[in-house]
Amino acid sequence: MNLQPSPSDETFRAEVADWMRQHLNGRFANLVHRGGPGDEEVDPASRKEWERELAAGRWTCVGWPAEWGGRGLSIEQQVIFHEEYARAGGPGRMGHIGEGLIGPTLIAFGSESQKKRFLPGIVAGTEFWAQGYSEPGAGSDLANVQTKCWQEADGSWRVQGQKVWTSLAHESEWIFVLARSEPASRGRHGLSFLLLPLDQPGVRIQPIRQMGGGAEFNEVFFDGAAAAADHIVGKPGDGWKVAMGLLEFERGVSTLGQQMHFAYEFDLVVKAAQANGSSANPQIRQRIAQAWCGLRVMRYNALRMLSGGDGHGLKREALIYKYYWSNWHRELGKLAMDVLGPAGDVISDDPRIRPLQQLFFFSRADTIYAGTNEIQLNLIAERGLDMPREPRPAA
Amino acid sequence: MNFAFTEDQIMIRDAAQSFLAEESGSAAVRAASASEGGFDAAVWQRIGSELGWCSIPVAEQHGGLGLGAVELVLVLEQMGRQLLCAPYFSTVCLAANLLTQCGSEQAQRRFLPAIAEGRLCLTAPLSSGVDDWSDAAVQVQAYRKGEVWTLSGHCPRVPDAGAADWLLLFAQVEGERAPALFAVPREPAGLKVETLAGWDATRRFSSISLDGVTLPAEDRIDDAARIEDGRVRAAALARLAIAAEQLGGAQQCLDLTVAYTATRKQFGRAIASFQAVKHRCAEMMVRIEATRSAVYGAAALAAGEELRVCHSERSEESGQILRCAQNDNENNPSQFTRCSSLYLECAAARALASDAYFYCAQEAIQLHGGVGFTWEYDPQLYFKRAQASSHWLGNADALRERIAQALIA
């Protein structure tokens, strides 16, 4: 165990911080600390431009191999990049689904022509992606996907059905879709993984308004929407394997960047408490200290994860992580509103209040998406404690 | 930056795990804690001489292994898990720690080599206050006349005092602002050690009174230049040690519960297969792993600071200051140290560990059902230890208030 950064890591950290200082200003100044989860609708045009600014500095896809336009950074340096990005108030990444999910999936499972076609647009910040997994009847039980797909005589694919909770579909060019290619199949068998352009007659996008007033999620309806013959990732029927491989990429190095943002939100809460005097309230003080303890837990837990566990072979720290951060974040939201008191009940544009209200409402989603609390506890009990598995439908 | 354990650290942990599973099982703990001395002298002897665990944190120049907080925490975690009854915590985590952090050079040379060799058993007060022993100091008064010190007062809670060769006691000296530290031998005239019959029998406490105990000048052992800062650092590290023991105890509560629910059948199935049971065990694991991250992280931080002191080119960073009120700190080194990240992270680890331990112990009882409430099954041992240890060197609420003071000022 060694928490000391190496000199080359420190140099790299300074380089990132310096670049951010020089570029995140002027026409991008209004984006500082904006555009994260719950705030994804903010100024999409300008945030896409920011993606291209990042690309010009070679700061997109920094963990990808150089062969595909990345920097091939080590885990440590990727962590540093995400930390400094967040510390500088770098805006929520419009390109995160491309960079963090579909890109790595194509690098692992895609054909050469798919890599050549799609990776450059992700690196350059010119093509944005949405994720078509969840359906009205396939939430926690993702394997119950009912959207259908079939192949036409010319080899192209058609998709019929509905996806839901599709972040940023209205701002994206492409969507990857998990759909059932074998009509009588059930569960995780008979699924395929397709890439579709969103701008076509067979696709209709309808926003879902959230409790906080915003609408960054959508329903996406497919009515015979088309995908090119070679835009299937893996073989027909391999969809589940590809879809699960993609979810593996969802966790990882950006975690510490997320924590920097949490620390920023925590600071906002402390400042609000100092400003209105609630910081003298012993219960508020207890909760602030408890939240700070949680920040330390998350940081060291992430470092444990990135160091490959503690030699037990069981990645216990990775199993608890999602449950821990999402519940911590939700509690921070409640603390923020309790600190604000009645002032929090009034819809506000005040930069000291609005982000805390957003945190309060949107953090309710944290314990639901990407595996609900209940699914997380099942996974922890079954994988972490080897307790009996929940019954699953026979395939 | 690397958070993985080294091979040596894993070896130390695994050796502790197997030795303690063998020598400190349920029957052994029950026998030792009910015995006259409160621990098995033969096991303690082996820990000191054969296994060399007492030498782990002692500097090489004093005959120790000079290892850091990480190794110590790994051993303590296993001790807490097996409820080891032995004066290890008192000797190493209280006394050796205090000697290292605020003892004079002469006192370190006098005691540390014998501690490292496992030949000496020492202890110090384990008060329930969060004041880093200033609360203990006000209860004992020391006067100097010529070459002789005279001590009077009392210490309500000293662990393993019955077994200790020396008691390290804080005292107040008239005209001195900082507390003084004395080494009091086992049986001088005027010293009374009264053993308390605790519900938690795995760590035996005594109440000590001093009525004009006289000591030679050399038995005042503090280094005046380091006592204020040092006692605060020592308290932080002792809290980390308690947290490590509590982490191990919480883990054992979960392990016992998972094992029991796998064999207990109701409604024709193992109760472990009910989601109501699974989710409660999972919640225990979440709290345990969160605590583990905090404990290992604070240990790595403490180890890093030790390293920095050795290679002093970086030492100016060693006390990273949060938003602590700066105004009165300049004249008060203990306040300054209380805002260091080491102090706060040890406090956080200890607060989390106390809460997680009690939570897991009460869940263990509940999920064992009726037998969880019996003397015969082990959850009660952990339940009692969880409650007793929850106030050692400050309870979770008091520690969180300390953290709040540094964050909010």
Residues B61-93 have pLDDT tens digits of 999 999 999 999 999 999 999 999 999 999 999
Q: What is the CATH number of the domain that holds A152?
A: 2.40.110.10
Within this chain, do residues A260 and A210 fall inside the same structural domain, yes or no?
A: no
Q: Which of A9, A290, A310 sits opposite B400 (nearest CB)?
A: A290
Structure tokens at A135: 């359906």
Q: Specify the pLDDT at position B246.
A: 98
Which of A64-73, A106-115, B319-328 is the least confident region? B319-328
Question: Which among A242, A232, A205 is positioned nearest to A221, based on CA atoms?
Answer: A205
- Residue B335: pLDDT band (50, 70, 90) is confident
- Residue A353: pLDDT band (50, 70, 90) is very high
Q: Which domain holds residue A17?
A: 7-94
User: Looking at the domain assignment, is residue A121 inside a domain?
Assistant: no
Residues B21-77 have pLDDT tens digits of 999 999 999 999 999 999 999 999 999 999 999 999 999 999 999 999 999 999 999
Please state the separation of Cα B28 from the chain's center in Å. 22
Is residue A395 scored above 90 in pLDDT?
Answer: no
**Based on the structure, what is the number of domains in chain A?**
3
Query: Contact B294/A297, CB-based, under 8 Å?
Result: yes
The pTM assigned to this predicted structure is 0.94
Q: What is the CATH number of the domain that holds B80?
A: 1.10.540.10
Query: Contact B401/A289, CB-based, under 8 Å?
Result: yes
Q: Specify the pLDDT at position B322.
A: 41
Q: Specify the pLDDT at position B323.
A: 41
Within this chain, do residues A349 and A269 fall inside the same structural domain, yes or no?
A: yes
Is residue B144 scored above 90 in pLDDT?
Answer: yes
Is residue B315 scored above 60 in pLDDT?
Answer: no
Query: Which residues from chain B sit within 8 angstroms of residue A298, using beta carbons?
Result: 293
Q: Once rounded to an integer, what is the mean pLDDT over residues B309-317?
A: 40
**On the CB side of A198, how many CA atoms lie within 13 Å of its CA?**
25
Residues A135-179 have pLDDT tens digits of 999 999 999 999 999 999 999 999 999 999 999 999 999 999 999
Question: Which among B285, B247, B394 is positioned nearest to A314, based on CA atoms?
Answer: B285
- Boundary residue ending a domain (B219, B240, B274): B219
Question: Average pLDDT over chain A, rounded to whole?
Answer: 93
Query: Which residues from chain B sit within 8 angstroms of residue A320, using beta carbons?
Result: 285-286, 289-290
Q: Specify the pLDDT at position B311.
A: 46
Structure tokens at B256: 């016992």
Residues A195-254 have pLDDT tens digits of 999 999 999 999 999 998 888 899 999 999 999 999 999 999 999 999 998 887 765 667
Q: Which of residues 355-394 of B touch A (CB under 8 A)?
A: none
Q: How far is A64 from chain B (nearest CA, A)?
A: 21
Is residue B306 scored above 80 in pLDDT?
Answer: no
Within this chain, do residues B213 and B234 fall inside the same structural domain, yes or no?
A: no
Query: Contact B403/A319, CB-based, under 8 Å?
Result: no
Catalytic-residue membership of A317: no
CB pairs A-B closer than 8 Å: 162
Within this chain, do residues A367 and A277 fall inside the same structural domain, yes or no?
A: yes
Q: Which of A3, A6, A293 sits opposite B348 (nearest CB)?
A: A293
**Interchain CB contact of B196 with A (< 8 Å):** no
- Residue A129: pLDDT band (50, 70, 90) is very high
Q: Specify the pLDDT at position A214.
A: 87
Helix, strand, coil fractions of chain B, as percent rounded to 5: 55, 15, 30
- Residue A310: pLDDT band (50, 70, 90) is low
Question: Which among A60, A139, A46 is positioned nearest to A98, based on CA atoms?
Answer: A60
Question: Average pLDDT over chain B, rounded to whole?
Answer: 92
Within this chain, do residues A39 and A155 fall inside the same structural domain, yes or no?
A: no
Within this chain, do residues A255 and A228 fall inside the same structural domain, yes or no?
A: no
Nearest CA in chain A to B355: A290
Q: Specify the pLDDT at position B307.
A: 62
Query: Which residues from chain A sit within 8 angstroms of residue B247, using beta carbons?
Result: none
Within this chain, do residues B255 and B365 fall inside the same structural domain, yes or no?
A: yes
Within this chain, do residues B210 and B231 fall inside the same structural domain, yes or no?
A: no
Q: How far apart are CA B312 and CA B307, in angstroms?
A: 8
Residues A325-351 have pLDDT tens digits of 999 999 999 999 999 999 999 999 999
Within this chain, do residues B282 and B326 fall inside the same structural domain, yes or no?
A: yes
Residue for token pair 């130390």: B12
Q: Once rounded to an integer, what is the mean pLDDT over residues B246-269?
A: 98
Q: Specify the pLDDT at position B316.
A: 35
Within this chain, do residues A137 and A186 fall inside the same structural domain, yes or no?
A: yes
Query: Contact A310/B348, CB-based, under 8 Å?
Result: no
Structure tokens at B304: 């890093």
Within this chain, do residues B250 and B324 fall inside the same structural domain, yes or no?
A: yes
Query: Which residues from chain B sit within 8 angstroms of residue A319, using beta carbons?
Result: 285, 289
Q: What is the CATH number of the domain that holds A335?
A: 1.20.140.10
CB–CB of B152/B210 below 8 Å?
yes
- Residue B333: pLDDT band (50, 70, 90) is low
Is residue A311 scored above 90 in pLDDT?
Answer: no
Q: Once rounded to an integer, what is the mean pLDDT over residues B171-187?
A: 94
Within this chain, do residues A133 and A213 fall inside the same structural domain, yes or no?
A: yes
Within this chain, do residues A377 and A264 fall inside the same structural domain, yes or no?
A: yes
Q: Once rounded to an integer, what is the mean pLDDT over residues A354-368?
A: 95
Query: Which residues from chain A sit within 8 angstroms of residue B2, using beta carbons?
Result: 1-2, 307
**Interchain CB contact of B403 with A (< 8 Å):** yes
Q: Which of residues 232-291 of B touch A (CB under 8 A)?
A: 254, 258, 261-262, 270, 272-273, 275, 277-279, 281-283, 285-286, 289-291
**Interchain CB contact of B304 with A (< 8 Å):** yes
Query: Contact A307/B286, CB-based, under 8 Å?
Result: no
Q: What is the CATH number of the domain that holds B343?
A: 1.20.140.10
C-alpha triplet B67, B386, B273: angle, nearest 5°: 105
Query: Contact B348/A273, CB-based, under 8 Å?
Result: no
User: Looking at the domain assignment, is residue B129 inside a domain?
Assistant: no
Q: Specify the pLDDT at position A286.
A: 98
- Residue B117: pLDDT band (50, 70, 90) is very high
The residue ranking higher by pLDDT, A134 or B188, is: A134
Query: Contact B293/A300, CB-based, under 8 Å?
Result: yes
Q: Which of A4, A292, A317 sits opposite B293 (nearest CB)?
A: A317
Q: Specify the pLDDT at position B314.
A: 33
Query: Contact A274/B408, CB-based, under 8 Å?
Result: yes
Q: What backbone phi and psi angles, to 5 degrees, belong to B132?
A: 55, 45
In 10 A of CB B63, how many CB atoms?
Answer: 16
The residue ranking higher by pLDDT, B289 or A216, is: B289
Query: Contact B404/A381, CB-based, under 8 Å?
Result: no
Query: Which residues from chain B sit within 8 angstroms of residue A380, using beta carbons?
Result: 282, 285-286
Q: Once rounded to an integer, what is the mean pLDDT over residues B95-117?
A: 98
State percent of chain A over pLDDT 70: 97
Q: Which of A274, A324, A378 sits opposite B278 (nearest CB)?
A: A378
CB–CB of B44/B28 below 8 Å?
no
Query: Contact B1/A76, CB-based, under 8 Å?
Result: yes
Within this chain, do residues A133 and A180 fall inside the same structural domain, yes or no?
A: yes
Q: How far is A169 from chain B (nearest CA, A)?
A: 34
Within this chain, do residues B106 and B197 fall inside the same structural domain, yes or no?
A: no
Q: Which domain holds residue B70?
A: 7-120
Using DSSP, state whether A197 is helix, strand or coil: strand
Within this chain, do residues B103 and B165 fall inside the same structural domain, yes or no?
A: no
Query: Contact A387/B345, CB-based, under 8 Å?
Result: no
CB–CB of B142/B171 below 8 Å?
yes
Query: Which residues from chain A sit within 8 angstroms of residue B277, using beta carbons?
Result: 387
Within this chain, do residues B248 and B381 fall inside the same structural domain, yes or no?
A: yes
Within this chain, do residues B104 and B152 fall inside the same structural domain, yes or no?
A: no
Question: Which among B58, B98, B87, B93 is positioned nearest to B221, based on CA atoms?
Answer: B98
**Based on the structure, what is the number of domains in chain B?**
3
Which of A250, A265, A382, A390 is the catalytic position? Answer: A250
Longest dimension (CA), chain B: 79
Residues A15-74 have pLDDT tens digits of 999 999 999 999 999 999 999 888 888 899 999 999 999 999 999 999 999 999 999 998
Q: How far apart are CA A102 and CA B41, in angstroms?
A: 62
* Dihedral angle, C-alpha B234, B237, B243, B249, nearest 10 °: -90
- Boundary residue ending a domain (A184, A212, A238): A238
